[in-house]
A and B are shown apart, each in its own frame.
Chain A
Amino acid sequence: MKQQTLRWLEPLIIYIVTRGLLMAVAFFADLFYPDPIGTGFYHVAPQMPWLDVWARWDSAFYLGIASQGYQFNLTEISNIAFFPLYPLLIRCVDFVVNQPLISALIVSHLAFLAALYTLNALCRLERFSESVRLRTLWLTATFPGAFFFSAVYSESLFLLLSLLVFYFARQKNWAFGVLFAILAGATRITGILLTLVLFLEWWRTQPRQLKTGLLLLLAPLGLISHMVFLGVTYADPIAFWNVQSAFNRTEINPLAAIWRDLEPLITGSNTLPWNVLFDLTAFVLVLICLPLVQKRLGTSFTLYSLFSVLIPISSGTGSLLRYVSILFPVMIALALMLQNHRVYVAVQTLFFALMLILAGVFANWIFVA
């Protein structure tokens, strides 16, 4: 009985240990360098520096949407590029809390804790060994980009929703799978991939029920609702896409995007920025893990992981480290790969250290991903 209780506490313990350390490191990193090192800084709540460090870069867009609504100017960087569910939840919490930053962090942290529990449940459902389950949880919580789960970013919410879609799809509970896919589609553009996941999972079932298949057609409603909203409000249903050029993202193919990053290094004309190195490494990691994802988890997990990196990479490799951190199938594959305890400890230690360092870097306004 005691052991069972302890197992249920494991995600909570992982959450407390990793988030607690992150909070401390980010705060002290900011304290250690009181002047901003990076450029483009702002302070949402300078009176609360231990929380303020978690609102950097894109956080202002989410907080801006939550507090002032969407704004759209096609030729300028504007918050229309960001999806509405996360800022809406911030707004809902803020009705009670009345401090947008605290509200945002409550949403992010609760979503991440819930995501760890859902991942725990999914690993049990897939009948992975205890060590693989635990390693998956630790790797997810300490991946170098996992500090974004503690920031004012939609990563933790999307991780939770995508996990719930997979969890319910594996249980053939299609109604809830569709429900969470709708919500995921309103959180990020890649949420639409979960519709594909549901269809692939449904296709595997025997006998296939047409009624269920029709229900799955509702899965893109989150994205469609948002597009209708944009169409009605701004006469541009794909404003979130059209505004990407203002963020220096251009439509190119993935190979061209990788070549664009590597070219200066190969031709010797320039050095590779360290954050691009992280992005490319994360991409390579996904490619390495995909065969194992396919073997142990199936096509839906594989295609979801592959397209989750191909969609952002089609407009540039920037921020891939962050996008990969929400790919739990990759974390499961890594946990399966790292069977040797010493190797696992070495990788885990490296991940943890990198995550803490990057959190400190992020807190000091240096762009990570």
Chain B
Amino acid sequence: MGKLNIAVIFCLTLIGFNFLLYTQLTPSNARNISNLPSWDIFERPILEYQTILGQWQILDGQAINQAQESLALQQRPVSSLGSYQLIGKLHIKTNAKAGLVFNAQSKGNERYHLVTLQGVGQTWLLTAGYINSQGNILEQRRTLIPQKSQRVQLSLSVGWKQYQVELNGVTVLKNIPLAYRGGFAGIWAQGKVAVQELLLRQTKSLQEKTEVQPDPSIWNSLGGSWSMVDHLLEQRHVSSQDLVLIYQKALLFQRVELEVLVTQGAGVGLILAPSSTSLKKATLLRFDESGNHLFWGRYNEQSRFIGVSDVAINKNLWHWRHIELVFLPQQTLIFLDGKQLMMKLPAFNSTVHLGLLCWQSQARFQNLRLESSEGRQTLFSP
């Protein structure tokens, strides 16, 4: 075979492969997800709810169907980077209830955010909340909206830390806090309801890079992948090693405060280390694996951790927790969510490096504020 022929085969293979890759395997920006086959792929092992497959006709909004309590979800290509909009065109009869639901937790799929509409007379009762791991619906917000028609367009604009609800294009609920939004989205219904359409639309380009690595001249990573997304520091990699991001500059602290949101596991905390390159002789304060205790201890010369003391706390996962350390000449006081704990850390009368730590966990950090001999500074905040 001639060289020219071989070159042509090469080019055709490469161009063909790449052409097919970009045209066939890239998720499109807007898709109708209501008419895809195999609704039950992935759903059945996850959901204990009755799926509506086979009992509903999710077609043109003409067929109103009766459902006891139903939930249908579809795994969708929702990137971890962009925000998205979930739009449902619904027909809800009086006293029936329907809404949109999306996956809320990163692992285990135990919780879903849920926004429902219920027709009460000439009014819509709109509620936003979540389904917990026991399957109970817990309400976060509610509002009443005049009802003009039983046919509505309910839309959720889902961002990184919050989402908002629009009804027929008008924003009705804003800034509903969000711990995590995952790749499942769907509908929830009770009573006589029909779904005309269910759309998922990205509102931010996937190509747009919103995350950056923490400045290596300021921060030193002792493990893990740390990234900044819109002034929110995140550790995504889960490991049984101590994953630490440590501040390069040693400071004589007077006060340190930050907020932390644990999205997986519970082992998240703070480090105060003599060195910015190792954990030798560092002091650690962190939540234990269950999230029921806060403990502290020290790393020895071999960087092996030895616990000293712990204190029981209110388990409050999935909420931003405020940790504050007040450095006094004899001791260091610990405040959790504004309340001082009985447990205290020893005094730090020489300069130390501040670090953030994750162990078998994922977490987000924000509002890290320092007061030291060099004055006040905010390292990152939204």
Contact = CB atoms under 8 A, between A and B. Distances in A.
Q: Please say whether chains A and B are actual partners in one complex.
A: yes
A70 B27 contact: yes
Given A69-B27, A229-B21, A42 B40 contact: yes
Contact of B80 (A41, A42, A75, A175): A75
B281 interface: no
A366 interface: no
B79 A234 contact: yes
Interface in B24-56: 24-28, 36, 38, 40-42, 44-45
B75 interface: yes
B76 to A, nearest CB: 7
Contacts of B225: 242
B80 A72 contact: yes
Nearest to A44: B38
B183 A42 contact: no
B237 interface: yes
Interface string A122-133: 000000000000
A179 B10 contact: yes
A339 interface: no
Contacts of B237: 245
Most buried by A among B10, B28, B107: B10
A232 B42 CA distance: 27
A194 B363 CA distance: 39
B312 interface: no
B182 A233 contact: no
Given A179-B9, A234-B206, A250 B79 contact: no
Contact of A76 (B44, B182, B240): B182
Interface in B99-149: 106-107
Contact of A73 (B20, B22, B182): B182
B78 interface: yes
Given A44-B41, A232-B207, A75 B107 contact: yes
Interface in B1-28: 1, 6, 9-10, 13-14, 17-18, 20-22, 24-28
Interface residues of A, number: 46
Contacts of B239: 250
B291 interface: no
A85 interface: yes
B321 interface: no
Nearest to A70: B25
Nearest to A73: B183
Contacts of A178: 10
A315 to B, nearest CB: 13
Contacts of A175: 1, 6, 10
* Interface size band for B: 35 or more
B152 interface: no
Interface stretch (A27-35, A87-95, A145-153, A300-308): A87-95
B17 A88 contact: yes
Nearest to B211: A235
Contacts of B36: 68
Nearest to A80: B77
Interface in B253-311: 263-264
Interface string A207-251: 000000000001001100110010011110000001001100010
A186 B17 contact: yes
Contact of A69 (B1, B25, B209): B25
A74 B14 contact: no
Interface in A72-114: 72-76, 78, 84-85, 87-88, 91-92
A196 B49 CA distance: 51
Nearest to B237: A245
Contacts of A171: none
Contacts of A78: 183
A297 interface: no
B26 A74 contact: no
A73 B207 CA distance: 14
Contacts of A250: 239-240
A225 B77 contact: no
A11 to B, nearest CB: 25
A65 interface: yes
Contacts of B182: 73, 75-76
B353 to A, nearest CB: 26
A182 interface: yes
A20 interface: no
B201 interface: no
Given A42-B44, A44-B41, A65 B13 contact: no
A87 B238 CA distance: 29
B362 interface: yes
Interface string A10-49: 0000000000000000000000000000011111100000
Most buried by A among B25, B183, B263: B25
A42 B24 contact: no
A281 interface: no
A183 interface: yes
B81 interface: yes
Contacts of A179: 9-10, 13
B80 A73 contact: yes
Contacts of A242: 225
A88 B20 contact: yes
A253 interface: no
21 contacts: A43-B40, A69-B24, A69-B25, A69-B28, A69-B77, A70-B26, A71-B27, A71-B75, A71-B78, A73-B80, A75-B180, A75-B182, A91-B24, A175-B10, A178-B10, A232-B207, A233-B207, A234-B81, A234-B206, A235-B207, A242-B225
CB-CB nearest 8 A-B residue pairs:
A71-B77, A75-B106, A73-B183, A175-B6, A40-B45, A69-B25, A74-B80, A42-B41
Interface of B: 1, 6, 9-10, 13-14, 17-18, 20-22, 24-28, 36, 38, 40-42, 44-45, 75-81, 106-107, 180, 182-183, 206-209, 225, 236-240, 263-264, 362
Given A44-B38, A76-B183, A229-B21, 8 more contacts: A60-B42, A75-B182, A75-B264, A175-B10, A225-B17, A229-B22, A235-B208, A245-B238
